[in-house]
Structure 1
Amino acid sequence: MKAFLPRLRVAFRIAVRELRGGLRGFYIFLACIALGTGAIAAVNSVSTAITDAIASQGRELLAGDARFELNNREATPEERRFLNDLGTIAVSTVLRSMARLPDGSDQSLVEVKAVDQLYPLYGTFAADPPQSLPDAFAKKDGAFGALAAPLLLERLGLAAGDELLVGKARFHISGIIANEPDAISDGMGFAPRLLTSLDGLKASGLVETGSLVEHAYKVRLHEPQLSPADLREKAQATLPNAGWSIRTSDRAAPALSENIARFSQFLTLVGLTALIVGGVGVANAVRAFLDSKRVVIATLKCLGAPASVVVLVYFIQIAIIAAVGIAGGIVVGIVAPIVAAQYLGQVLPIPVAPALYPGALVLATLFGMLVTLAFSILPLGHVREIPATALFREQGLEAGGWPSRTYILAAAFLFVALAALAISVSDDRWIATLFLVSIAVGFVVLRFVALLIAMAARRVPRPASAALRLAIGNIYRPGALTPSVVLSLGLGLTLLVALALVDGNLRRELTSSLPERAPNFFFVDIQKTELDGFRRLLIARSPAGRVEEVPMLRGRILAFNGTDVTKMEVPPAGRWVLRGDRGITYSEALPGNAQVTAGKWWPAGYTGEPLVSFSAEEAAQLGLKIGDKVTVNVLGRSITARIANFRKVDWESLSINFVMIFSPNTFAGAPHTWLATLTLPDATSAEEAAILRAVTRSYPTITSVRVKDALDVVERLVGQLATAIRAAAGIALVTSVLVLSGALAAGNRARTHDAVILKTLGATRGLLIRAFTYEYLLLGATTAAFALAGGGAAAWYVTARIMNLPSSFLPTVALTTLALSLLITVGVGLAGTWRILGQKAAPVLREL
């Protein structure tokens, strides 16, 4: 240590003095690091801003300290006594139904929410025009008051003061909903909101036994210091069979928080890809910088400077320059929440206060520094190994070979640390690991592709065109740009192709394939007494249609093999099954759209212990096996059934499917409603509207869901997500272009020598331009071909294996990728080469 400190001081003084000449040659280095760290810092800062806003405003978002939710039934007197002992209770009821005009000319799916006079316990509800809820809900001329979302009025062409029908009751619109504090905690709705009183909902006749209704009991605790864990434990100990879903203000909107975290993780990985691609640019910049300092390095060694001091000098310089680039990215991370806050208010019903998020900034700094060091260490190792005589004799650092084992091990350690950091901060570590492995494989494959391109160029028959001969020769000659171009553009284009194909396949599935396979309508809350008449109506209105109906109940999974699911570690992919209530059914025979993959279906007339058939994919995600016990709470009763079989479920068909199908004896005598679908191939919008009007007029309490409307909502959401994904992929592509520019700049000296010699031997500028253009065209085309193959394979895996959707190659993406690759390669290549062609011969020839 005593010997090291003086060397460090000397190295630091030399490094700082050399940097006084400016950062020339490091602008691309700085841009690559700043882009990657900026993307990571911005994504995580904005994500943290949203999650912190949700956490800090949990009471307002939940409209209570805690929320106890029961599906399809109201709380029993015993349960109400327990809730009343906890604190003040506000009751709300949510269900979906059809709102229709009084003359029956039009209708729309609505999400009806009925609240009591204590709503909201926290937060502020606002209406336009301003009015209190009792005034807004007041009954006038036999019509109950209601407040509507602007979208509902737009769909039905209504305004404040107009009337509409819901179920068996009339409602007059007293205004629009300007601010509903707990809307986000109620979850994403596929229909516009209609807010009314509990009396109005009761008059509608929509709440019947077995109806799909959510009863929420929101509590302002007498003991606010009661922790969420203690509250859940108290509820479980007092009423273990209540089967309610308990949510506390610290997790007011868990689905939104998890989706934000998952999307943030994805964008962080994309940003890390941009940073790693930028690492290639860092390596090129470091190599070019050290090559330009070959005389200085040789001089230092000849004057007696130890090799360790020489390496330390340039290590310090690289660290200082990297710190400047990282600082630029951190500034982006600081500014991002401030900018995002201006737009998030239009999307999220919560104010996002911009602040400084040290965790996100530290994470981006660590990623930036690790990438810089990992990609710089090997070029620095060459400086130590090459003697001064070689530096004077050689043109540069192209002596070849690997540095000493110490530097190789250091680089390997840094790459492992980089991967470990990325995996440790990810919510889904399997996806993060797969992502990083894909990048590593991509680097190896791209290097192999570059070798194949060089080998193919060497074996191509000699063309007659001199320019083409020069271009082909440049592809495989020593020091060729082939590896740099293929590596720099390959990863960025591959990522862009993969995301474009996933987006294209998903959109095509939503707009064409799914609507063709899916039913036209879902009908919910069909009472048993209505089933026969409802079926006859559909057959009469659509003789060519296919009607299917199944019994439907709602149940929430409480335990597997006696273990409370809230205490289990569940992989992210399977958590949705355990979140809230699930639709369940019973059937004596195996449904026609499913097939058993393990176990056996129960025989007809089975009367033994309760059995259940579980979806095979979800069972694998939850770690279940044949014979395991599943405890489900249905209508306040806890029922335990044994898994008899697994079955493959075609969720993508959007037909009637359930995670769990029970043996009929499980729910003998239990009250329930029915779910039905109508499939009418080639039905026009007018025909669908006529069916919808007929069902709504004859059965006002039945909820009709037009599948196309639901898919339109999903498509809009996918479009918004795709915009963010394209922006992230664009950063990776921009980084690739910067790396390509850096690679060309790093090879400028060798290119200058070649051009001068060729011009001395009689080559014209036009010939050289054609040769360089042909070279860049060939490299761009081959890189695009790899990007299409690699990106296509990645998109197929994501679409077919993860999303379980049909995947196909899209020609438009191929043509766009080819054009973009050629434009970038030729454009950047010629822009960097143009100055070379104007270089005077004499100064260059004197250096040879």
Structure 2
Amino acid sequence: FQGILLGVAISLLFSALPLLQVRNIKPKLLLRDENNDSLRKLDPAKWIFGALSLAGLLGLAVWQAGSLKVGVFFLAGLGLTSAVLYFSAVLLTWLLRRSRNLGSFALRQAVNSLYRPGNQTRIILLAVGLGAFVVLAVQSLQTNLIREFDFTRNQRLPSLFFIDIQKSQIEDLVRLIEERIGEKAESTPTVRTRIAFINGQPFDFQQREVRQQQGQIGREFAVTYRANLDENESVIEGEWWRGNVNQEHPQVSVEEEMATRLKVSVGDSMTFDISGRKITAQVANIRKLDLRNTRTAFVFVFRPGTLEQAPQSFAATVLTRIPATERQRLQREILNSFPNVQIFDVADIVAVIQKLISNFVLAISFVGSFVILSGILILVGSIALTKSQRIYENAVLKTLGAKRLTLASILIAEYGLLGTLAGIIGSGFAVLLSFAVSRFVLDIDWEFDPVLMLTGILATAILVMIVGTIASFDVLFRKPLATLRSQ
């Protein structure tokens, strides 16, 4: 019922405003082929009804989103995207018009046809371009996301991850894994701790900024200690510890984003609470962590000689890609021998994520396909609206000696240009959106896929060209004499 109500409401909101203009059409226009200048005059009723329609769309968006904020952001995003695409269409058509004297006669005439009276070139470019934009943007994001979770690219992404391994169990567990799959699991000591003080001061959760980050900075952290940097780490501030271990002056390395969140830098002191025992360490360096190529990712890494006597457990990782049945068999055997150990099947988790991404892309692509369909329907409506003008143009060209092949070439070139422009608009902004979301929202590597973009432009051009040509094909067979007599 909600779907029916939503569909009817949207149809009314979008159709009522154009239908409102019918009351300004003069009866004589039904008898003569003229443009109605009254439709271009300022009509206060149109502006009022437009504002009411916008409010109605906002209400529907809020209703479906269940949040005023989300509804406003959705409508604002849709409006901004449509405005950018529309002005891009205006710019491209302006540039095309400036170059209409170039090329063959059929191409020049095709460009002129885009500006015939009553044309809806920009609206068609907006609708079809928006559909292409949605489809290509999500396809590009899918490509980059799947590449991000590709085992063949991330050689250090584990297939199995084990935690809560006791110190007395780690050697036996590593030996068992090596016997079953031939790989010696990499083990890492882990200690549970909370941040107590920074430079001797506790967190002031009365401050709004600190309170908003309480879940990030007030939680329990799993930390470790080691002498060397991992392969996926690099020091961006300070220096990694060298020389003999100094137990009297503990040092800690902080991950870059956490250092920014805590507002700490090299030389600051941090006090950690480990099972009631306070340990104060100096920030020795700030590390950058490449999460795309890692076995484990620790926010805090201590210098050896500090945490060895603290209550601790171990984590272990396995890189070998083994079939799902063998992974399940290995997990059952480990749980039978070490029931306290928690196991994460990373390969299975990644497969689920990839499936979710594919389903998400499929759903959004359907939405984009419907947007393209709406653009095609607008194209068909525009063809019907300008058919009389097109018939007259063809009659004049036939009288001047144009062959049917020439007229067909003009027709194909016109809709080919229209589709190409729509594809360029859609694919261009799809690339920009995909880049922005990948780099600044998802924080993943982005790679330009020229094949996807060129395929999108070509597919859009062919679709518009086929639909437009078929819808206008009967114009080629009209007799010029009958057409000119009726004028």
Partners of 1:788 and 1:814 within 8 A in 2: yes
**Identical positions, percent:** 23
1:653 correspondence with 2:296: no
1:587 correspondence with 2:190: no
Following superposition, the deviation at residue 846 of structure 1 comes to 5.5
1:715 correspondence with 2:354: yes
The aligned amino acid for 2:89 is L
The aligned amino acid for 1:795 is S
Partners of 2:117 and 2:386 within 8 A in 1: no
Cα-to-partner distance string for 1:661-683 (whole Å, 9 max, x where unaligned): 56778867442211122335xx6
Following superposition, the deviation at residue 501 of structure 1 comes to 1.4
Cα distance in structure 1, aligned partners of 2:118 and 2:381: 15
2:168 counterpart SS class: helix
The aligned amino acid for 1:552 is T
Cα-to-partner distance string for 1:201-243 (whole Å, 9 max, x where unaligned): xxxxxxxxxxxxxxxxxxxxxxxxxxxxxxxxxxxxxxxxxxx
1:807 counterpart SS class: coil
Q: 2:189 aligns with which of 542, 551, 557?
A: 551
Cα distance in structure 2, aligned partners of 1:660 and 1:608: 16
Q: 1:797 aligns with which of 411, 414, 436?
A: 436
1:808 matched residue in structure 2: 447
Partners of 1:426 and 1:432 within 8 A in 2: no
1:350-749 mapped onto 2 (5 Å cutoff) = 365=9, 395-397=34-36, 404=42, 425-427=68-70, 436-456=79-99, 458-461=100-103, 463=104, 467-475=106-114, 482-513=121-152, 516-535=155-174, 547-553=185-191, 561-563=203-205, 570=212, 577=216, 584-587=222-225, 591-592=229-230, 593-597=232-236, 605=246, 613-616=254-257, 624-626=262-264, 644=283, 647-661=287-301, 669-680=309-320, 685=323, 692=330, 696=334, 700-701=338-339, 702-749=341-388
Partners of 1:547 and 1:678 within 8 A in 2: yes
Partners of 2:395 and 2:480 within 8 A in 1: yes
Aligned residues: 471
Cα distance in structure 2, aligned partners of 1:773 and 1:500: 29
Cα distance in structure 2, aligned partners of 1:821 and 1:722: 19
Cα distance in structure 2, aligned partners of 1:399 and 1:662: 78
Partners of 2:190 and 2:314 within 8 A in 1: yes
1:153 matched residue in structure 2: none
Cα distance in structure 1, aligned partners of 2:350 and 2:420: 38
1:626 counterpart SS class: coil
Cα distance in structure 2, aligned partners of 1:479 and 1:788: 27
Following superposition, the deviation at residue 829 of structure 1 comes to 0.7
Partners of 1:525 and 1:703 within 8 A in 2: yes
1:322-361 mapped onto 2 (5 Å cutoff) = 329-330=7-8
Taking a change above 3 Å as real, the CA distance of residues 483 and 729 of structure 1, as seen in their structure-2 partners, is closer
Comparing both chains, which one has the higher relative contact order based on Cα–Cα distances under 8 Å and sequence gaps of 6 or more? 2
Following superposition, the deviation at residue 656 of structure 1 comes to 0.3
2:97 counterpart SS class: helix
1:528 counterpart SS class: coil
Partners of 1:474 and 1:775 within 8 A in 2: yes
Partners of 1:612 and 1:661 within 8 A in 2: yes
Cα distance in structure 2, aligned partners of 1:426 and 1:607: 53
The aligned amino acid for 1:677 is T
The aligned amino acid for 1:673 is S
Cα distance in structure 2, aligned partners of 1:704 and 1:689: 11
Following superposition, the deviation at residue 649 of structure 1 comes to 2.7
Cα-to-partner distance string for 1:429-486 (whole Å, 9 max, x where unaligned): 8788666534432222222122223333x1423x2xx544533443466766643442
Cα-to-partner distance string for 1:342-361 (whole Å, 9 max, x where unaligned): xxxxxxxxxxxxxxxxxxxx
TM-score normalised per structure 2: 0.73
Taking a change above 3 Å as real, the CA distance of residues 776 and 610 of structure 1, as seen in their structure-2 partners, is same
Following superposition, the deviation at residue 791 of structure 1 comes to 1.3
Partners of 2:144 and 2:447 within 8 A in 1: yes
Taking a change above 3 Å as real, the CA distance of residues 634 and 513 of structure 1, as seen in their structure-2 partners, is farther
The aligned amino acid for 2:292 is E
2:407 matched residue in structure 1: 768
Partners of 2:86 and 2:123 within 8 A in 1: no
Following superposition, the deviation at residue 712 of structure 1 comes to 1.8
Taking a change above 3 Å as real, the CA distance of residues 690 and 752 of structure 1, as seen in their structure-2 partners, is closer
TM-score normalised per structure 1: 0.45
Which residues of structure 1 form unaligned runs of 5+? 1-37, 43-325, 331-364
The root-mean-square deviation of aligned C-alpha atoms, in Å, is: 5.3
Partners of 2:224 and 2:302 within 8 A in 1: yes
Partners of 1:586 and 1:661 within 8 A in 2: yes
Cα-to-partner distance string for 1:640-677 (whole Å, 9 max, x where unaligned): 98995754332223520134556778867442211122
Following superposition, the deviation at residue 498 of structure 1 comes to 0.5
Cα-to-partner distance string for 1:703-750 (whole Å, 9 max, x where unaligned): 554432232222233333333222222222222222322333333332
Partners of 1:611 and 1:662 within 8 A in 2: yes
Taking a change above 3 Å as real, the CA distance of residues 670 and 437 of structure 1, as seen in their structure-2 partners, is farther
Partners of 1:562 and 1:631 within 8 A in 2: no
Cα distance in structure 2, aligned partners of 1:633 and 1:747: 77
Cα-to-partner distance string for 1:361-380 (whole Å, 9 max, x where unaligned): xxxx5x7777668x759x95
Cα-to-partner distance string for 1:90-148 (whole Å, 9 max, x where unaligned): xxxxxxxxxxxxxxxxxxxxxxxxxxxxxxxxxxxxxxxxxxxxxxxxxxxxxxxxxxx
Following superposition, the deviation at residue 496 of structure 1 comes to 0.8
Following superposition, the deviation at residue 584 of structure 1 comes to 1.4
The aligned amino acid for 1:736 is G
Taking a change above 3 Å as real, the CA distance of residues 648 and 436 of structure 1, as seen in their structure-2 partners, is farther
Cα distance in structure 2, aligned partners of 1:845 and 1:546: 88
The aligned amino acid for 1:784 is G
Taking a change above 3 Å as real, the CA distance of residues 758 and 642 of structure 1, as seen in their structure-2 partners, is farther
Which residues of structure 2 form unaligned runs of 5+? none
